[in-house]
Structure 1
């Protein structure tokens, strides 16, 4: 439930976190675009997908940011009074779900692409993970926009089923593929799955707040903070780790490429 009013502190908190997410997503995408030649071509698909994910997220957070500013206004001089919902305007939570519908499946594509598995294995993983990810988001949306806790609980439960299936594939099925990866990246890839679990775990917690009778402006602000932090971890930080994996694998695949890249890293800066 969107609150009727926000205090100046609450407004500034949400404002600053939304701004932080925009900066994190946008400049992660810029960094990855610049750094794309620093990995072998076979791993660039994964990083290209990561750039697309961060770009989509940055775009939607611009829309969320504008929606937030339009939804809450104050008549106080200097913006020191409470912010009330503007007449005829409302905060559009749907932007988040459109973003997740596009980016969550792509996050799984990033992971599969950087593994550089046989095409048949990749295809088998993707046809299971991508539809499940989309279904998880689609089933969660009706509950998110409902004021009825019964409907919210029902769709929350339904969206949990594909979520559990994704975890099963990531932690059981994908483990077989990790054993074929270079020793230097096995631990990183294993930890990457836990990063997804950690960041995705924030969403159901925020989703369940009304069911726990935690409502009001504070609860809404905490939800926006939780979603924002989770999106930074699941997209920007995740993308940088994927890039690190791609670099390590590039060095492992091609010693000559590794030597050239290391010489560039060690070359003293020129003024």
Structure 2
């Protein structure tokens, strides 16, 4: 097999090392910030769309932990020698955790999108199953070619497994387009349609960065290229997780406002977007069962009256019997 230089085997200058640390740290902090924001605002949407918020929490929570691991492994994976940072055996772990992250978060991104779409019931379950499976296979096959086989140094493996991964990526693109087009028709003339379209486009465009970087692994060499790869991946992660999550939350709030206004669902708090009120808070009404009339006193009274009547009759009969 043809060999190439894996990105974690290249030495870095002091500046390149500092830039990568900066990019990884900023990305991790962005994930944590959006996780905290999502947790605080999870009750801003109705229960119908709350699964999108929970998926977003999982995405940014996992991504934050992944970036913590990336920073730690990057710090211990390079040794300072003069004016250069030289990789050691642990340097591969400054890249591999990205695949661990994506294997879980990319399927969750699809779940997040479908949760605010206009597909429901059995159709939503089928679409979700296909989307999760395709997302998982897209990342796992890329991991095999990019990390597992010959420690990512085989160009042949990169090409073969890259093509296989690309097939599943095309499947995901078709699913995203289907969700966006159908949602655009069903949510026509509502702000949610525009946000759904923007979310789909953002995901499609941002995901293009990943196969490009995957390809550079086989052709790009040197610290400068490696630095750009790390920076681009970090920026793409922020856009695909934080930017996309913001649009999904906006769609969930907009659709929640529509449901509350139409009386389909309730939400105690008013719904606001960009200081604009979309719907007033509506509390669910508690339906009390009809109160049955208390007939116990009536029965008791009737029983008493009946007993008195029987007693009277009995007394009368005794009186008649006593007469000569």
The normalised TM-score by structure 1 is 0.89
For the pair 1:117 / 2:119, whether they are aligned, the reply is: yes
Residue in 2 that maps onto 1:56: 62
Alignment length (residue pairs):
261
Work out whether residues 114 and 242 of structure 1, in 8 Å CA contact, stay in contact via their aligned partners in 2: yes
Residue in 1 that maps onto 2:22: 16
Residue in 2 that maps onto 1:138: 140
CA distance in structure 2 between the aligned counterparts of 1:173 and 1:117, rounded to whole angstroms: 8
User: Aligned ranges for residues 1-271 of structure 1 at < 5 Å?
Assistant: 1=6, 2-74=8-80, 81-86=83-88, 88-92=89-93, 93-115=95-117, 117-145=119-147, 146-172=152-178, 174-181=180-187, 183-211=190-218, 213-255=219-261, 257=267, 260-262=270-272
Extract unaligned runs of 5+ from structure 2. 1-5, 278-324
3-state DSSP class of the match of 1:117?
A: coil
Alpha carbons of structure 1 residues 262 and 167: separation in structure 2 relative to 1, 3 Å? closer
Shift in Å, 1:174: 5.0
Structure showing the higher helix proportion among its residues: 1
Alpha carbons of structure 1 residues 165 and 48: separation in structure 2 relative to 1, 3 Å? same
Work out whether residues 3 and 216 of structure 1, in 8 Å CA contact, stay in contact via their aligned partners in 2: no
Alpha carbons of structure 1 residues 241 and 174: separation in structure 2 relative to 1, 3 Å? closer
Work out whether residues 42 and 116 of structure 1, in 8 Å CA contact, stay in contact via their aligned partners in 2: no
Shift in Å, 1:37: 1.4
Shift in Å, 1:262: 4.4
CA-to-partner distance for each residue in 1:127-173, whole Å, 9 max, x for gaps? 21110110101111122122111111111111000111111122136
Alpha carbons of structure 1 residues 71 and 259: separation in structure 2 relative to 1, 3 Å? closer
After superposing the two structures, state which structure 1 stretch, 88-97 or 129-138, moved more. Answer: 88-97
Work out whether residues 136 and 163 of structure 1, in 8 Å CA contact, stay in contact via their aligned partners in 2: yes
Alpha carbons of structure 1 residues 207 and 127: separation in structure 2 relative to 1, 3 Å? same
- Name the larger-Rg structure: 2
Shift in Å, 1:91: 3.2
The normalised TM-score by structure 2 is 0.75
Residue in 1 that maps onto 2:290: none
Q: Greater RCO between the two (CA within 8 Å, min separation 6)?
A: 1
Work out whether residues 44 and 269 of structure 2, in 8 Å CA contact, stay in contact via their aligned partners in 1: no
Extract unaligned runs of 5+ from structure 1. none
CA distance in structure 1 between the aligned counterparts of 2:130 and 2:22, rounded to whole angstroms: 37
CA distance in structure 2 between the aligned counterparts of 1:89 and 1:215, rounded to whole angstroms: 19
CA-to-partner distance for each residue in 1:226-259, whole Å, 9 max, x for gaps? 1111110111111111111111111111138598
Runs of 4 or more off by more than 4 Å in structure 1? 256-259
After superposing the two structures, state which structure 1 stretch, 172-181 or 198-207, moved more. Answer: 172-181
CA-to-partner distance for each residue in 1:86-144, whole Å, 9 max, x for gaps? 4x432312211111000000000000012253211211211211101101011111221
